[in-house]
Chains A and B, each alone.
Chain A
Amino acid sequence: MASRSNPIGRVVAGLDVGLLLWRAQLKMFLNQTLRSRKPGRIAGTVVSAVVILVAWSWEAIITWAGVQASQRAPVQIDTVHLLSLAFLVYTGVLVFSSLVFSLNALLLNPDLDLLLAAPVPVESVLAGRMVVQVLRLLLLSLVFTLPALLVLAIANHNLLIPLVFAALYLLYPVFVVVILSLLTLLLVRFIPVGRGREIVTLFGVILALGINLLNFLFNPALRDSGFSRRPGVPPSLPDVPAASATWLPSGWAGRSAAAILRGDWPAAAEWALVLLAVSAAIFVAGTILSGRLYLAGWIQAVPPRRRRPPALRARRLNGALPLLSPVLASIVVKDWRMRTRDLAQLVRFVTPVVFIFIIFGLRFGGLRGAVQSLGEGPAAAMVGLVPAWILLFSLSISLGLTAVSLEGKSIWVFGVSPNTTLRFLQGKCLSAAVPTAFLVALVALAAQILIRPGWLWGATAILLAVAQAVTVTSLMVGIGAVFARFDWTDARRMLSPVGVVIGMGLFVMMTGGSALLLAISLALASATGFSIFTTWLAAMTISVGGAVVVAVLGVLIGNERLRGLELG
């Protein structure tokens, strides 16, 4: 084995560290799932495996049908360009995932200190991280495409297809992962201590918003007209002519993939070797450079920011709120501070609002015209509630479902305080429902002003939106209490997937039921001759009353669950 003091030795040691980390992660995965001895987790793993098998079967059937159709009616497709384009699009995914992974690995993962303390060169530790990321991406690519590749191998009588694709999946991410890791090493030198989580979140949100915005603006499926197209490329695909260029890795990977699909394995091997040579060179260079960058300066270069002294700070909130008892007010104020001061939490607030603006703002003219064509009256007012419901859906899940889990490991503070869990839940309902109801009311008001269904219909619709915001969010707080998790260290892990599914289901039932009741009220008025306003008000009353009952039940069930927990 090469000595660890020379560059190649360090790269080899990096591969060793990467494989070691990969094995450790695999063991942790097995320990948390199949070996956990917890029936719930084992059942969850089995269900996930079944879901994947069903999805694989479905993918295999679709691919088989596609192969059969293409044999009956051959289509002229530039496969080199198509596959190069696919690899280029995959590069976007790689950039996104690598950036988040690298920032996580350098700023948040607690095992970095452990690894750096081991008698392994810094370069090898950083290279090991890159290896783990590449292996993870290989696994993900195979999970998504393996059935299709197997079907293609059988249909083309060419068993090399899955093997060559697997090799491409392994080699192609290397240059992105290495470049992003180096950029991250430069970037983290400017991130203050303790702000890593926020920066990772910020990057994640910016990238998510950017991708959605670009998709919305440029995806031909969402546009009136697509890009100018190259001859031979299917019309529904956006075209990037340079994707298949011979000087881009996407072009090499695309050529290799296309060659193996047509059975030309020497050409496939030739382009795969080009990719292998460049990836290996970049990996070696990246490993050496990463060590230099790491040693040149570390994140502690930027000192933590001190807060301004009290004299300069406007202390508007000292825990007191009008009409609320000190205990409830203190919970509301504390949660407000936690949500607004922690970027990871703030994002839960802001992202749904931004998405509402993207979705409705960019298509504002057309949507307004369509709704205004309904004329004045309850139907227009009800349709005007849709943006408010979409916002309520997002906020009630992001704020309501996380309200209890927000306490995390600090839950002991409530556990030892002389207050009942119901009191705690009341505070949580208020802390989540007040901002949600405020934002939902604003969106509902804006929609009603723009649609102009008549002031009476508009006002009642806004009232309904506010009542639903309060009840739905309180219900989510109750569900969040049932599925509370206080062991999270990453804000993204606060939500229980089961809780989210149940919450989403109940939200659809409540708002769908409400819409149905309002529609029935209109039909009833025209069928029986009752005043529309009378039937509309009756429907609203039933709708809100039902929502209150469901919300109270949800909170009480959540309370029982919390009472049964040992909060130490």
Chain B
Amino acid sequence: MLSTRLLTKRYGSLTAVEDLDLEVEPGELFGFLGPNGAGKTTTIKMLVGLLRPTSGTARVAGIDIMAEPERAKARIGYVPDAATLYDKLSAREFLEFSGDLYHVERRLRDRRIDALLKLFDLDERGNDFLSGYSRGMRQKVSLAAALLHDPQVLFLDEPTVGLDPQSARQMKDILQDFCKEGKTVFFSTHILEIAERMCTRLAIINRGRLVAMGSLQELRHMVGQDGQSLEQIFLELTGSREEDVSAVLRGLEE
């Protein structure tokens, strides 16, 4: 469903993503983890066609995103980190606009909008301008827009940021249902608990390079200690230095 080969993105002398090889199967809920600035957002933006890779290839739903961007994008749903939406449109109007951009037939579009607004508990405020929405509500509208054209692959960049626990749980259920239909979810997150509970497979990226990929069990084998939490595995693989942090904090107290 999704594959990359030697995917690389450079900004001048800075290499944001280097030689990334990924393989994600249909029906998988794939977690993409990494510390701040590791290259998660850059990778997702390359996979949805917003950024052009410096080198390498990426195929989504069997289509090369660089060679046939329009065909590939028709099969992709994307929820960005802190989505900027049109403030002066209502949620319903934004979804109508989004549906038209993805060529969803009008009656089907309106039916799906009603259903999605209800699903995300936005039906009562669907006619309010988005400028009055909280971050979590915007995130929901963004997810509704991404689901509207029934994509085969859903990319989410930090989807749970700004969501209350209820909404986060609701999003988790929706994504799992989505995968049960044989579709793929690819999402990045900082919240390791969510990744640990939700994902069928995980990849960890650090400083632009893939450091691990597999199921949670496979990652545990990789670090050589069964029973470790994803947080411990993550810290071990990304080289976090807890001792240094403690020393700095002690220094501040002095």
The residues of A with any CB-CB pair to B shorter than 8 Å are: 194, 304, 306-310, 313, 318-320, 326-327, 329-330, 333-334, 337-338, 341-342, 408-410, 412-420, 566-568
Nearest-neighbour CB distance to chain B for A216, whole angstroms, equals 33
Q: Which residues of the other chain, A, contact B98 by a CB distance below 8 angstroms?
A: 413, 417
Determine if B76 is an interface residue (Cβ-Cβ < 8 Å): yes
B51 touches A566 (CB 8 A): yes
A327 touches B89 (CB 8 A): no
Q: Which residues of the other chain, B, contact A320 by a CB distance below 8 angstroms?
A: 106
**Given A307-B127, A415-B49, A418-B73, do A318 and B84 touch, yes or no (CB 8 Å)?**
no
CB nearest neighbor in B for A313: B127
Which of B128-136, B169-177, B186-194 sits within the interface? B128-136
Bound complex: CA A342 to CA B89 (Å): 10
A416 touches B132 (CB 8 A): no
Nearest-neighbour CB distance to chain A for B87, whole angstroms, equals 8
Q: Which residues of the other chain, A, contact B127 by a CB distance below 8 angstroms?
A: 307-310, 313
Bound complex: CA A338 to CA B89 (Å): 7
A568 touches B106 (CB 8 A): no
**Given A326-B106, A408-B84, A415-B50, do A568 and B128 touch, yes or no (CB 8 Å)?**
no
**Given A341-B88, A568-B50, do A319 and B100 touch, yes or no (CB 8 Å)?**
yes
Determine if B71 is an interface residue (Cβ-Cβ < 8 Å): yes
Q: Which residues of the other chain, A, contact B215 by a CB distance below 8 angstroms?
A: none
Per-residue A-contact encoding for B66-110, CB less than 8 Å = 1, 0 else: 000111111010101001111111101100111111110010001
Nearest-neighbour CB distance to chain B for A202, whole angstroms, equals 16
**Given A326-B106, A568-B50, do A337 and B131 touch, yes or no (CB 8 Å)?**
no
**Given A194-B131, A417-B73, do A318 and B96 touch, yes or no (CB 8 Å)?**
yes
| Residue in A307, A310, A319, A420 whose beta carbon sits within 8 Å of that of B70 in the complex | A420
B90 touches A414 (CB 8 A): no
Question: What is the count of residue pairs linking A and B with beta-carbon distances less than 8 angstroms?
Answer: 98
Going nearest first, the 9 A-B pairs with the smallest beta carbon separation are A568-B50, A330-B100, A409-B84, A418-B74, A341-B88, A418-B73, A417-B101, A568-B45, A326-B100
CB nearest neighbor in B for A308: B127
B84 touches A417 (CB 8 A): no
Q: Which residues of the other chain, B, contact A313 by a CB distance below 8 angstroms?
A: 127
Q: How many residues of B contact A (CB 8 A)?
A: 41
Determine if B143 is an interface residue (Cβ-Cβ < 8 Å): no
Give me 23 A-to-B residue pairs in the complex whose CB atoms sit less than 8 angstroms apart, sorted by A's number: A194-B132, A307-B127, A310-B92, A310-B126, A313-B127, A318-B96, A318-B106, A318-B110, A320-B106, A326-B103, A334-B86, A338-B86, A342-B88, A410-B84, A412-B83, A413-B98, A416-B48, A416-B50, A417-B73, A418-B69, A418-B72, A418-B74, A566-B52
| Residue in B84, B87, B97 whose beta carbon sits within 8 Å of that of A334 in the complex | B97
Bound complex: CA A414 to CA B85 (Å): 11
B88 touches A330 (CB 8 A): no
CB nearest neighbor in B for A407: B86
Bound complex: CA A333 to CA B106 (Å): 15
Bound complex: CA A329 to CA B109 (Å): 15
**Given A410-B86, A415-B50, do A337 and B93 touch, yes or no (CB 8 Å)?**
yes
B96 touches A416 (CB 8 A): no
Q: Which residues of the other chain, A, contact B52 by a CB distance below 8 angstroms?
A: 566
Q: Which residues of the other chain, A, contact B49 by a CB distance below 8 angstroms?
A: 415-416
Q: Which of B146-167 contact A (CB under 8 A)?
A: none
Q: Which residues of the other chain, A, contact B90 by a CB distance below 8 angstroms?
A: 307
| Residue in B80, B89, B96 whose beta carbon sits within 8 Å of that of A412 in the complex | B80
Q: Which residues of the other chain, B, contact A568 by a CB distance below 8 angstroms?
A: 45, 50-51
CB nearest neighbor in B for A306: B128
Bound complex: CA A422 to CA B97 (Å): 18
Nearest-neighbour CB distance to chain A for B70, whole angstroms, equals 4
CB nearest neighbor in B for A567: B50
Bound complex: CA A306 to CA B132 (Å): 9
Bound complex: CA A417 to CA B94 (Å): 14
Q: Which residues of the other chain, A, contact B92 by a CB distance below 8 angstroms?
A: 310
B89 touches A416 (CB 8 A): no
A330 touches B131 (CB 8 A): no
CB nearest neighbor in B for A417: B101
Nearest-neighbour CB distance to chain A for B45, whole angstroms, equals 4
Q: Which residues of the other chain, B, contact A306 by a CB distance below 8 angstroms?
A: 128, 132
B128 touches A566 (CB 8 A): no
| Residue in B51, B76, B101 whose beta carbon sits within 8 Å of that of A413 in the complex | B101
Q: Which residues of the other chain, B, contact A341 by a CB distance below 8 angstroms?
A: 88, 129
Q: Which residues of the other chain, B, contact A329 by a CB distance below 8 angstroms?
A: 100
**Given A309-B127, A330-B101, A417-B101, do A337 and B88 touch, yes or no (CB 8 Å)?**
yes
Q: Which residues of the other chain, A, contact B126 by a CB distance below 8 angstroms?
A: 310
CB nearest neighbor in B for A309: B127
Q: Which residues of the other chain, B, contact A326 by a CB distance below 8 angstroms?
A: 100, 103, 106
**Given A194-B131, A307-B129, A412-B84, do A418 and B102 touch, yes or no (CB 8 Å)?**
yes
Known contacts A318-B96, A410-B86, A419-B70; 15 additional CB pairs below 8 A are A306-B132, A307-B128, A308-B127, A319-B93, A319-B99, A330-B96, A338-B86, A341-B129, A413-B85, A413-B101, A416-B49, A416-B73, A418-B69, A418-B103, A568-B51
B73 touches A338 (CB 8 A): no
Nearest-neighbour CB distance to chain A for B146, whole angstroms, equals 9
